[in-house]
Amino acid sequence: MPAYPRQELEAMVERWLAANRDSERAGDWVKSLGQMYAEDAEYSWNMGPNREFVARGRRQIEEWALGAHMEGFEKWRYPYDSILIDEQRGEVIGIWRQVAPVKRDDGSDYEVAGLGGSWFRYGGDYQWAWQKDFFDLGNVKALFMELAADGKLEPPVKQKLRRLAWGLKLPGVDPIRPDLKPWQKLKGVLAMLGIVLLGR
């Protein structure tokens, strides 16, 4: 991986953070963030034990990652708490939070617990060549359940959850390896029951 001037990477991060703030204000993730990716960039994140989202190229990033997957999250905030820059490797790690646009009855934020973040690889010309997000999927699901119970989950998010529950695909989401056969899943369930009930 090529080294880049520290000043250039710091400027890239500042542009990225400004574009994020613009996207949050506008409720449009594509307009400000799409241009921050190289034409052949790749963007991915894990969607569970055997599911990975991958967008290849700026067009898929705009249409899938920043478009279809962000439907229902236009008003969410993703404030960055820390940025780590490695100019020798041309890499950046940003630690962020996921904050819903509604509040609990006690005035506190609905916020995904744990850490979230993005690992970026810089490609020059003030564009990312590669990005991988990481977050605690279990905590995301728990927050969605709380929002749903309180009647504050956005309709597009409800539709996505419904699609996933029925085994329908979201764009760019594919198995990491072949899915387990039903008997293999049952074997795993029985093994876990043995551990819980019998301690073995």
Determine, yes or no, domain membership for 135.
yes
44, pLDDT greater than 80: yes
CATH number at residue 103: 3.10.450.50
71, pLDDT greater than 80: yes
Reported pTM? 0.89
43, pLDDT greater than 90: yes
Mean pLDDT of 71-88: 96
Determine, yes or no, domain membership for 138.
yes
How many percent of the chain have pLDDT more than 70? Answer: 100
Determine, yes or no, domain membership for 154.
yes
pLDDT of residue 2: 76
Determine, yes or no, domain membership for 13.
yes
Determine, yes or no, domain membership for 181.
yes
Determine, yes or no, domain membership for 27.
yes
69, pLDDT greater than 90: yes
pLDDT of residue 150: 96
191, pLDDT greater than 80: no
pLDDT of residue 141: 93
**Three-state SS across the chain?**
CCCCCHHHHHHHHHHHHHHHHHHHHHCCHHHHHHHHEEEEEEEEEEEECCEEEEEECHHHHHHHHCCHHHCCCCCCECCEEEEEEECCCCEEEEEECCEEEEECCCCCEEECCCCEEEEEEECCCCCEEEEEEECCHHHHHHHHHHHHHCCCCCHHHHHHHHHHHCCCCCCCEEECCCCCCHHHHHHHHHHHHHHHHHCC
pLDDT of residue 53: 96
pLDDT of residue 198: 82
Per-residue confidence at 161, pLDDT binned at 50, 70, 90? confident
Q: Which residue has the higher pLDDT, 178 or 25?
A: 25
Task: Give the closest residue to 31 by CA, choosing from 67, 76, 60.
Answer: 67
Tens of pLDDT along 115-157? Answer: 899 999 999 999 999 999 999 999 999 999 999 999 999 999 9
Residue 37 lies in domain: 6-198
Determine, yes or no, domain membership for 194.
yes
Determine, yes or no, domain membership for 1.
no
Give the distance, in angstroms, between the CA of residue 194 and the centroid of all CA atoms in the same chain: 35
pLDDT of residue 132: 98
Domain count along the chain: 1
pLDDT of residue 3: 85
How many percent of the chain have pLDDT more than 90? Answer: 76
pLDDT of residue 79: 96
